A and B are shown apart, each in its own frame.
Chain A
Amino acid sequence: MKTSLTTELHEKIREVFTELELMIGWEAGFDALHTTPVFIRSADDVGRLTWGLLCAQNLTTYLGKDLTLMAAARESNKKIGICVKGCDSRSIVGLIQDRLIERDRLYIIGLPCQGVIDWKKVAARMPISGISSVRIAGQEVIIEGAAGERRFDLQELLARRCLRCLYPNPLISDCVVGETVAPRVKKQDVHQDVAKIEGLSLQDRLAFWQQELDRCLRCYACRNACPFCICQDRCIAETRDPKWLSQYVKLPEKFLFHFIHAMHLAGRCTECGECERVCPMDIPVTLIKEELNKITAELLDYEAGLDVNAVPPLVTFNPSETGL
C-alpha cells in the first residue's frame, strides 16, 4: 500500500532521522490485510514503513513497556521516533502524565486517521484467501480479491473503536502527515455501545459477561497490548507468591482478571481499543473500560489522555472533593 501519504511519511522521517535512535512504525504484514510494527534503526530502511487503513496496532505500548528504548535514547542523546494515530496520541499523553516516558525524548509523527479496518469484518463479507490489495477512494474501500474486486463503504469495515472515535487527529505531535479528519461521532453518542449494556437488567448484564468472558483463554494479549498495563511481569494474574488467582480457567478467575485489569485503568484508559482488537476469542473487553471511563467523566469530569498537564483524578487526592 504505497500511497502519497506513505511517501510523505518517508520524506518526513528521512529529514529527521539523524536525530533519532530509532523509528517505530508499521510495515506490510503477512498478507494484504495485516501490518506489523517495525523498529527502523537505519535510514536505509525507512522505505519499509507504511501508513493507512490497516495500521491497527497502537505502537505506544512499546514505549511504556520496553524501558530500554528510552534508556538507549538518553544514552545516545537522541529521540525515539514514533508514528501515532489520534487514539494512539492519547496514549502518549497518558504515558507522559504517568511519567513513564519523557516528552523531549520523543519525536512524534501524528497521523490524522479515518479509522482502521477490522479484518474480521472483511472475512465475514468475502473470502480473504487471495486478497492482493486494499485501498481507499474517498469513503469507499476497494479490495482486490481472488474472485475480483469488491467495494465496501468504509464505515462498514471499521473497527468498533473507530466508529466511536472522537479524536481522529493526533493531540500531540512534532509533525503531522495528512489532512485533518472530522470525527465520525458526536460527543453525546460516544458511549452508545456501553449504554446498551447498562440498559440490561443486572441479571442479563451478568449473563452477558458470563457468556463473553467464558471464552477467555487467559492468554493475556489484552493486558500485553495495553499501553497502560505496565506492571508487566508482576501482574497479579500471574504472581506465584502471593498467589492471587488459581490456574483454573473458570469464570471466577476470568472475571477477577478482567475486572482488576479494568479497575487499574480507571481514569487512565485512553480507549485505543487494543485489548479488544487483539482478543483471539473476540470478547468485547473494551466495553468494561468504556463503562469506567463513562463513570469517570460523569463523576469527575475527566477524560484521559487529553492534556499532559492534567492530573488524573484517581492518582491524586483532593480533600475538598464533593459529590463522591
Chain B
Amino acid sequence: MVSASMYIAQDKLTTTLDELAKKFELWVPVAAMEKQRVVRFMPYQAGMEPVLAEQSGLGPKNALLPQVETLLKFSYRKDVDDPGQKRLQLEAPEPPKQALIFGARPCDARGFLIFDQVFSHGPYVDDIYTARRETTLIATLVCLDEDAACFCSSVGSGPADMEGSDLRLTPIAGGYVVEALNDRAQPVMEVLAEPASEIQLAAARKVQEEAAQRRVGGADLTQSRASFLKRFEDMGYWREMVSQCLSCGICTYVCPTCYCFSITDEMKEDRGERIRSWDSCMFYTYTAEASGHNPRPTRLERYRNRVGHKFGYFPEKYQGMIACCGCGRCIRGCPVSIDIRRVAENLKESSDACA
C-alpha cells in the first residue's frame, strides 16, 4: 500500500526525476542556460537541474498544446488499379504517452482548466487534446513566490489553489512533500520511495495554510465583462491604454490560457503533414481575410480583442469563467511593459461615470 503522502528530499530530486522519467514523459521547469536565466518547461533528460524556486518564463503549455503538433500525415501514392491517378493516404498521429508535468504552479494548472472548456467539454471535442489531457498528470507546487506582476487572487485563484492538479508538491525545509489529490496520481506515488513523516506533513500543512491566506494581486477582475462591452467602441480608451503595444506575440505565447491556433498543410513533394501551430491574435495575419480586408487592422483592435476574449467573450460562453490565470507572464514579458491588470481595471472607471 502506498502512503497518501510521500517526501522527496532536495538531494534526491534528480534521482527521483530519473525514476519518474522511466514511466512518464516528464516535463520539468529548467533554465535554458546557466547565465541566461529563461526558465521553461522541457521534456526531462538526465542531468537537467529543475528550477522549482521561481516561476517559469514559459510554462507547461507545450505539454498539452504543443507549439506545433501533427494532426495527421498524408501522402499521395500512385493508384495501382489506375496508374494515371494518385490516391491519398492518411495516417493518424501517434497516441500520446503517459505524461507528468512536475513543478507546475497553480496558475499553470488553471490555464489547462480553460483549455478543457474549449477542447474537451463540448460541443466540439478535440480528440487529440482530450487524449493527451487524459494521459497527463499535473504535480503542482504550493506557490511561495510572487512578484509585482503576479495576480492569481484577482482571478479567483491563489497560491495554494489545487484545482486542476493531480498532485500537490509542498516545499518544506530540505525537500518536498508530495500528496495525491486523486486516484489518477497513484502511478506517480508508486515511484516515490520515502513516505512523508508526521513532522514533514505538519510542516507542509503550515506552508499550505500560510499560502492559502496570502492574497496575490489587487482588485478582483472576474466581473469585467459588462464594463468591457461598454468600452468596446471607445477607441480613445484603447488608444490611451495600449498605444505602446508593438503587436508582437509574446503575451499570447507565454500565456497559459491563450490557445488560438492555426492549421496548415506543410507539404514537400507528394507527402506532408497537417499541423496545428500556435497563432496569436496580436498578429495582423490572424484576422486578415482573403478579400484583403482586416477587421482588426491596428494593434488597438488586436489588444482590445485580447482583453475582450479573456474578460468578456470567454465568460459569456463558459459559465462566467474568465480566461486569465493571473500568472503575470504577459506583464513581465511585454517589451513595453503593458499591464493587463491596469487595462482591465480601468475599463470600469469612466464607462460607469458615463452611465
Binding site for B on A (CB under 8 A): 29-32, 34-39, 57, 61-62, 120, 123-124, 128-129, 131, 211, 215, 217-221, 223-225, 232-233, 238-240, 246-249, 274, 277-278, 280-282
Contact = CB atoms under 8 A, between A and B. Distances in A.
A221 B32 contact: no
Closest 4 CB pairs of A and B: A31-B148, A278-B335, A233-B284, A221-B248
B277 interface: yes
B248 A247 contact: no
B275 to A, nearest CB: 6
Contacts of B149: 30-31
A219 B244 contact: no
B175 interface: no
Contact of B338 (A36, A129, A215, A220): A36
Residue among B36, B58, B262, B336 facing the most chain A CB atoms (10 A cut-off)? B336
Given A129-B148, A249-B277, A280-B57, 17 more contacts: A30-B337, A37-B243, A129-B145, A129-B146, A217-B58, A217-B67, A217-B250, A219-B248, A224-B247, A232-B284, A233-B288, A247-B68, A247-B266, A248-B277, A274-B335, A277-B335, A282-B36
Contacts of B247: 224
Contacts of B250: 217, 219, 221, 278, 280
Secondary structure call for the B interface:
loop
Interface string B127-141: 000000000000000
A215 B57 CA distance: 12
B38 A281 contact: yes
A249 B338 contact: no
Contact of A215 (B32, B254, B280): B32
Interface string B280-292: 1001110010000
B51 interface: no
B246 interface: yes
B18 interface: no
A22 to B, nearest CB: 9
Contacts of B58: 217, 280-281
Contacts of B57: 280-281
Contact of B339 (A30, A37, A249): A30
A120 B37 contact: yes
B249 interface: yes
Contacts of A247: 68, 262, 264, 266, 275, 277
B253 A217 contact: yes
B210 interface: no
Interface string B27-66: 0000011001110100000000000000001100000000
